[in-house]
């Protein structure tokens, strides 16, 4: 089998290529992809060439971990069924072409255990489940954390910040404050306030969740903590992180790194989205055909009005 796939041949160079697919095994499914999202975190770093050393890193590569499509073939040893609509968190099925994370293609071969059936009603919004799971994991840690301290300050009002704020409100916690320095992104709040850091004089936040990916903010965030407060690093940072010890010492501050989401996080946010407790509305702002992937990636990374860019694979044979 062959597939059309987005290929980063090298930094700043995106093409749509026809690639050979690895043969499907008895535990695999073949999925015709309908939509895939472009990540402005990890994929932006891959595009710019700033991605730190990471398993699977190298060029050329197929990016993408936010895909949704329909099962067209299912191996005898998988529980998935032909016709099911599934979320696909990437794949490794392109032979010598690397996949980090391998979801931006018209057809994928992937283990049936990795895909997740999703409600038809979610439509293209199902691509947002990965980011929702990232936000959920930052707070709940895959259900492994004994105590949960929800954010009372979120830094960044992109898609991840909005999802984190919406989840906090939906869970019945006090509405968080959200910082955003870009006026174009300050709108769209649902049940919480978005303000500029310069307009906030509060210095007793218990839990600050940074989703900005800006390594230079750590000292300013620690300065806003209450005693025994926590800074959660929920973005992805390409630069080294450093902080002044004395202010953190005086507050006995905790720094926590939120790792990659796990299966329990994905299952949790799927339920929240499918029952309507978590709204995914208004987060997908742009859509493009894969033939115009180069322009789509440029818009996704360079246009502040673009929250989430989605590639529509339905007519890409």
Structurally, the chain folds into a number of domains equal to: 2
Q: Are residues 246 and 141 in the same domain?
A: yes
Confirm whether 180 is domain-assigned: yes
**Per-residue tens of pLDDT for the chain, all 317 residues:** 999 999 999 999 999 999 999 999 999 999 999 999 999 988 999 999 888 877 778 899 999 999 999 999 999 999 999 999 999 999 999 998 998 789 999 999 999 999 999 999 999 999 999 999 999 999 987 666 677 789 999 999 999 999 999 999 999 999 999 999 999 899 999 999 999 999 999 999 999 999 999 999 999 999 999 999 999 999 988 889 999 999 999 999 999 999 889 999 999 999 999 999 999 999 999 999 999 999 999 999 999 999 999 999 999 86
Residue after which a domain boundary falls, among 217, 237, 257: 257
Q: Are residues 143 and 187 in the same domain?
A: yes
pLDDT value for 83: 97
Q: Are residues 53 and 135 in the same domain?
A: no
Q: Are residues 201 and 229 in the same domain?
A: yes
pLDDT value for 306: 96
pLDDT value for 54: 76
Those residues whose C-beta lies under 8 Å from the C-beta of residue 203, and which sit 6 or more positions away, are 223, 224, 225, 226
Q: Which helix (H) or strand (E) holds 88?
A: strand 85-88
pLDDT value for 310: 98
Q: Which helix (H) or strand (E) holds 229?
A: strand 225-233
Q: Dihedrals φ, ψ of 81, to 5°?
A: -120, 145
157/145 Cα distance (integer angstroms): 25
Instruction: Give the distance between the most distant pair of CA atoms in the chain.
Output: 61
Q: Are residues 113 and 163 in the same domain?
A: no
Give just the sign of the alpha carbon dihedral 254, 259, 265, 270: positive
The domain in which residue 225 lies consists of 131-257
Q: Are residues 110 and 137 in the same domain?
A: no
What pTM was estimated for this model as a whole? 0.94
Domain harbouring 111, CATH code = 3.90.180.10
pLDDT value for 142: 64
pLDDT value for 252: 98
78/51 Cα distance (integer angstroms): 34
Confirm whether 146 is domain-assigned: yes
Edge to edge, the sheet with strand 2-10 lists 13-20, 2-10, 61-62, 98-99
Confirm whether 175 is domain-assigned: yes
pLDDT value for 50: 86
Beta carbons of 184 and 304 less than 8 angstroms apart: yes
Q: Are residues 306 and 239 in the same domain?
A: no
CB atoms within 10 A of CB 295: 13
The stretches of 171-292 forming alpha helices (DSSP H) are 218-222, 245-251, 263-274
pLDDT value for 42: 87
Q: Are residues 157 and 60 in the same domain?
A: no
Side-chain-side CA neighbours of 129 within 13 Å: the count stands at 34
Q: Are residues 85 and 164 in the same domain?
A: no
310/283 Cα distance (integer angstroms): 11
Q: In degrees, to the nearest 5, what angle opens at C-alpha 96 toward C-alphas 57 and 35?
A: 70
pLDDT value for 8: 95
Q: Are residues 157 and 252 in the same domain?
A: yes
Q: Dihedrals φ, ψ of 15, to 5°?
A: -135, 160
31/87 Cα distance (integer angstroms): 10
Q: Are residues 136 and 240 in the same domain?
A: yes
Confirm whether 262 is domain-assigned: no
Q: Are residues 182 and 253 in the same domain?
A: yes
89/110 Cα distance (integer angstroms): 9
Confirm whether 275 is domain-assigned: no
Confirm whether 301 is domain-assigned: yes
Confirm whether 225 is domain-assigned: yes
CA nearest 286: which of 23, 13, 37? 37
């Amino acid at each position: 089998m062959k597939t059309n796939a987005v290929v980063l041949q090298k930094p700043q160079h995106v093409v749509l290529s026809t690639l050979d697919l690895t043969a499907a095994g008895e535990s695999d499914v073949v999925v015709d992809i309908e939509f895939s999202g472009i990540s402005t975190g990890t994929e932006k770093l891959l595009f710019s060439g700033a991605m730190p050393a990471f398993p699977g890193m190298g060029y050329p590569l197929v990016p993408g971990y936010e895909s949704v499509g329909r099962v067209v073939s299912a191996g005898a040893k998988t529980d998935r069924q032909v016709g099911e609509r599934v979320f696909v968190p990437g794949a490794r099925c392109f032979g010598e072409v690397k996949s980090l994370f391998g979801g931006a293609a018209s057809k994928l071969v992937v283990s049936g255990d990795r895909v997740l059936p999703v409600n038809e009603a979610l439509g293209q919004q199902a691509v947002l489940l990965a980011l929702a799971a990232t936000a959920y994991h930052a707070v709940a840690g895959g259900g492994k954390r004994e105590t949960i301290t929800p954010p009372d300050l979120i830094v960044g009002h992109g898609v991840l910040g909005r999802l984190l704020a919406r989840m906090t409100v939906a869970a019945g916690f006090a509405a968080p404050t959200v910082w955003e320095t870009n006026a174009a992104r300050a709108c769209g709040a649902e049940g919480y306030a978005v303000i500029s850091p310069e307009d906030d004089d509060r210095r007793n936040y218990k839990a600050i969740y940074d989703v900005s990916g800006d390594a230079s903010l750590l000292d300013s965030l620690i300065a806003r903590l209450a005693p025994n407060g926590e800074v959660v690093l929920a973005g992805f940072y390409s630069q080294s992180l450093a902080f002044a010890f004395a202010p953190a010492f005086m507050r006995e501050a905790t720094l926590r790194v939120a790792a990659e989401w796990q299966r329990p996080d994905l299952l949790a946010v799927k339920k929240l989205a499918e029952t309507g407790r978590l709204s995914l509305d208004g987060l997908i702002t742009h859509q493009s055909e894969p033939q115009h992937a180069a322009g789509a990636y440029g818009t996704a990374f360079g246009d502040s009005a673009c929250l989430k860019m989605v590639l529509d694979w339905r007519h890409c044979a």
